[in-house]
Amino acid sequence: MAEKKILVTGGAGYIGAHTVLALIKEGYQPVILDNFSRSDESLLKGLTKLIGRAPLLIKGDCTDTSVLRKIFEVHGQISGVMHFAALKSVGESVQIPLAYHQNNIQSLMSVLQVMKEYSVRDLIFSSSCTVYGEPDFIPVTESATFKRAESPYGATKQICERILEDVYKTGFRFLSLRYFNPIGAHPSALIGELPIGVPNNLVPFITQTAIGKRKQLVVFGNDYNTPDGSCIRDYIHVVDIAEAHVKALAHLHMTQSQTYLDAFNLGTGIGVSVLGLVKKFIEVTGVSLNYALGPRRHGDVEKTFADPTKANKLLGWKATRTIDQALLDAWGWEKALAAGHKS
């Protein structure tokens, strides 16, 4: 039986690369499309070592329908799409909102347009817990009302999910996976989170500070209505996130209906504060960390964590890796990067 080809937009990025590895392990043939605007080609070197061959890669922008058409023509028989490609920083989206709306929405529109042209109907959409805004109830279930997004990034994910809601009725099958806070790296330390420039996410900023690349970590806000005053999040190992995508794809392929739409929270169901995560890193690694408390950052939600019951039941997926393991894997990745740069 031939391997099913899956187009993975943004497949050279952090979550995309881990998912490409998970897909290959399950017998799929990923076709990566990435423009490397927010990713580094060094992740492909790690992927190559892990899978024993270079992954199938096309350099290009998924807002460009001509690039997408060429992939569908050349590679043929694409059985589904995983759409990761997007700008993804909450903080940055506040600074350059137009770029976020233009890129994130147009990329999805282009992918859907070309999927329709080539009669490809299955898509897994990389969504986010930011679609819920500041939730009324914790833990958050998939039925929670979308409140006004706290950031332009969150707004683009809300708009994209609305587009999927409108479009699926015309012959598509869509699943939105709403990630909470992916952290960690592959335990081999061959692939991990590699931000371009100053990190926008917490854990790479922690590890870069611990290794000496950054002078100090600033915790944004210490006056929230939480036990220690810092924001509360649901931190989930990136390998768990990657495995959920493969489960979601299998679920979609097994669906008998010609049209289908659903959404799943991907989280652990455990809320951890930003300060708590910082202290946990120090505890599990034994490494000191220079950090300070700072003012709130615009766009941040006070507290949110998932109710992952639906994904547990319908996808047969559950987050199995601990925060301790995620932090140790992230630290292993950071040390491997430092060793590579020195060699």
Nearest to 269 by CA among 203, 184, 180: 180
pLDDT of 244? 98
H helices present in 212-287, as ranges: 238-254, 274-285
How far is the C-alpha of 157 from the C-alpha of 288, rounded, in Å? Answer: 36
How far is the C-alpha of 267 from the C-alpha of 235, rounded, in Å? Answer: 7
pLDDT of 195? 87
For 256, counting Cβ atoms within 10 Å of its Cβ (0-12 exposed, 13-18 middle, 19+ buried), the class is: exposed
pLDDT < 70: residue spans in the chain: 1-2, 341-343
pLDDT of 174? 98
Model's pTM, two decimal places? 0.95
Of 100, 153, 179, 291, the catalytic one is 153
Angle CA 110–181–241, to nearest 5: 70
Name beta bridge partners: 302.
none
Q: Which residues have CB under 8 Å from 253's CB, separation 6+?
A: 4, 79, 80, 122
- Domains and their CATH numbers in the chain: 5-183+236-267 (3.40.50.720)
How far is the C-alpha of 300 from the C-alpha of 274, rounded, in Å? Answer: 12
DSSP 229-250: SS-EE-EEEHHHHHHHHHHHHH
Q: Is 153 a catalytic residue?
A: yes
H helices present in 26-138, as ranges: 42-51, 65-75, 90-95, 97-117
pLDDT of 275? 97
For 174, counting Cβ atoms within 10 Å of its Cβ (0-12 exposed, 13-18 middle, 19+ buried), the class is: buried
pLDDT of 91? 85
Task: Say which residue the tokens 């993975």 belong to.
Answer: 8
Nearest to 311 by CA among 142, 184, 123: 142
Contact 79, 4 (CB under 8 A): yes
